[in-house]
A = this chain, B = another copy of it.
Amino acid sequence: MSDVARQAGVSRATASYVLNRTPGARIPEQTRAKVLAAAEALRYVPHVSARSLRRGRSDLVVGHVDGTSILGDRLPFFGLVQVASEVRKAGYTFLIHGDPTVSGLAAARAWLALRPAAVVATLDRFTEESVAMLAGAGTVPVALGRRSSELTATVVLDDGELGRAAAGRLADRGRRRVAVLGSHEDRASDPVLGNRIAEALATARHRGLEARYVPMRPEVDAAARVVAEWRRGWMPDGVVGPTDRHAGLLLGALTDAGIAVPGRVAVVGMDDDPFCDLLRPRLTSVRADLTGGDTPLAGVVLAAIEGRWDPGDAVRRFPAHVVVRDSA
């Protein structure tokens, strides 16, 4: 910036005022032009470290997701992409810190070294201590979770609507006995898919269907075991998979067992993964509209970052719609 000021024949202060469009500083148009020309000619790029060191706050927002959650569970990821774009539009620099090995206090230290204005991470990365440490240093902790938390401002991504839509589809198709799959023995203990499962069960029962929770880890053998079990006893005529992978695995196992889909058993997945079109029969799925809902997700996160957090706004529900294919 010194170079720019020198070349423009003004002081560094003036250069700073022009380059930052500082409100209240009235610089003659001619001076402005000279500074801008010099900055352009010298390819001036401001040094964010110096700026934030001086200002005492940075415009950096750090998001934290790891590779697993990117590929495994798509909602937080897509949520984050959307948030990133909005946060950038609001003038922040958004960077992703993807180290999967840190959480809690260690994560807080790593984030704080950058002195960001805010950090957006999944709820499980925060602890009471780490939140206190961040807040003490002036960094706003914003969590993305499946349920609200006392810990810190948490934007709740409630995708239970997916479960409602999936179960509703089966009811519409006249199914009577619905199995809702889930990865854990105990359905309440699934922090990621819990909402989907709970709402699918509730909706099915509300519509007068028999509904059971069926544990099935999303692995090849597990699906075959579930189907074998069903052949010996209770057999559903509709299946809800809390992810397309659950549904797809089960679809394959039903096919292997010679059970007609959707004839004897209808199957619905969730997320509308691109592979749904590759399966035979093609997998019917439900898709969340992340841009929909009352207020866009990104707006809520931005509000939290800027201290305009309104707990009443914490829960984001996304409209879901059924993508009808062959399996239900």
A→B interface (CB under 8 Å): 43, 45-50, 52-53, 58, 62, 67, 70, 77-78, 81, 84-85, 88, 93-99, 109-110, 112-115, 133, 137, 220, 245, 248-249, 251-252, 255-256, 273-275, 277-280, 282
Contact = CB atoms under 8 A, between A and B. Distances in A.
A279 to B, nearest CB: 6
A224 B185 CA distance: 41
B70 A93 contact: no
B113 A98 contact: no
A113 B280 contact: no
Given A96-B98, A245-B278, A278-B251, A49 B52 contact: yes
A84 B98 contact: yes
Given A115-B49, A252-B277, A278-B249, A97 B98 contact: no
B275 A278 contact: yes
Contacts of A248: 275, 278
Contacts of A47: 53, 113, 115
Contacts of A277: 220, 249, 252
A43 B133 CA distance: 8
A98 B70 CA distance: 13
Contacts of A62: 95
Contacts of A245: 274-275, 278
Contacts of A49: 48-50, 52-53, 58, 114-115
A98 B81 contact: yes
12 contacts: A48-B113, A49-B50, A49-B114, A67-B77, A67-B81, A70-B70, A84-B99, A95-B95, A245-B278, A252-B279, A255-B280, A275-B278
A217 to B, nearest CB: 13
A183 to B, nearest CB: 14
A96 B95 contact: yes
Contact of A96 (B45, B50, B96): B96
**Residue from the set A46, A256, A279 with the largest chain B CB neighbour count within 10 Å:** A279
A241 B90 CA distance: 42
A88 B93 CA distance: 21
Contacts of A77: 67
A95 B96 CA distance: 6
Contact of A280 (B52, B137, B252): B252
Nearest to A52: B49
Contacts of A98: 81, 84, 94, 96
A17 to B, nearest CB: 19
A110 B94 CA distance: 11
